[in-house]
Amino acid sequence: MDLVGSLLGTLLWLFWLVMLVRLVLDWVAVASTSGGPSWTGRIRGLTWSVTEPVIAPVRRVLRPVRVGGMSIDLAFTAVLVGVLVLRAIVAAVF
């Protein structure tokens, strides 16, 4: 069981890390006028393909909230917090 807990904890940590990379690269793309270097686009695509299958179902339930001229994606935040909670549960159980 210790191996299972260690594996689950590592996978959740890696997923959390990929989500943070996606967050930073999305903010860089928004702040950049040219879209940034081409390698950032490839990394954004990779992080998107890993995280979007988890975020999309949550986004159907938690719609983005409009605040003035922008919208806040609560699904991303909910999944990020959910991964942290799952990591804590895995650490407590295993």
For helices 38-61 and 2-31, angle between their N-to-C axes, nearest 10 degrees: 110
For the chain, list the strands marked E by DSSP.
Answer: 65-67, 70-72
Decide: 9 and 87 in contact? Cβ < 8 Å.
yes
Question: Chain-wide mean pLDDT for the chain?
Answer: 91
Segment holding 40, helix H or strand E: helix 38-61
Full-model pTM:
0.86
* Cα-based torsion angle of the residue sequence 50, 18, 1, 58 in order, rounded to the nearest 10 degrees: -60
Number of domains in the chain: 1
**Owning domain of residue 64:** 2-93
8-44: pLDDT as tens digits: 999 999 999 999 999 998 888 778 777 566 777 889 9
